Amino acid sequence: MASINKVILIGNLGKDPEVRHLEGGVAVARFPLATSETFKDKNGDRQERTEWHNIVVWRGLAEVAEKYVRKGQSVYIEGRIRTNSYQDKDGIQRYSTEIVADNMTMLGRPEGGNSQNGGNYGNEPSAASVNTTNGNTGQSKGGNTRSATYEEEPDDLPF
């Protein structure tokens, strides 16, 4: 029987990615990602629970993270769960769980737009202001240019 190890997360970076370059120039970036849920407890009070995920990205994706992703920014992550085991300094067996990302999509700018490079992430539009176009013509289907914003929901959701 086949098995599936697939994770999809949308959350905010807890800190800037830490990037290392291994032998042969292979880049690896690590960063914490926070996902939050809100619910009402048994007394009817609104509660929020935040889960922290350790994200690992490799090669080109790590280089993109290094250049364009900063603390507070929202990202969409697809990947798989990997658990590592090691012995700590006292000889106790420990485990760490991380998400090895195969796909990362930047969803917006860091809160407040502040970063080490002055909030400039190049000319990439945020996911909230992407114009949908058709091929090389620069025209969208039907001749209208459509901008998806946070205020409006898209007509067709990908899931």
pLDDT for 80 beyond 80: yes
Contact yes or no for 88/73 (Cβ under 8 A): no
pLDDT for 99 beyond 70: yes
- Tell whether pTM > 0.85: no
Q: Extract the tokens encoding 121.
A: 């992430």
Q: Which CATH number fits domain 7-119: 2.40.50.140, 3.30.365.10, 2.70.98.10, 2.60.120.560?
A: 2.40.50.140
> What is the rounded CA–CA span in Å between residue 14 and residue 41?
26
Where in the chain do CATH 2.40.50.140 domains reside?
7-119
CB atoms within 10 A of CB 2: 3
**Higher pLDDT pick, 154 / 57:** 57
- Quick one: CA dihedral 23, 59, 34, 6, positive or negative? negative
- Residue 86 pLDDT grade (very low, low, confident, very high; cuts 50, 70, 90): very high
Q: pLDDT digit string (tens) for 120-150?
A: 344 344 443 222 223 333 333 333 333 332 3
pLDDT of residue 47: 93
pLDDT of residue 110: 53
pLDDT of residue 55: 97
pLDDT of residue 158: 52
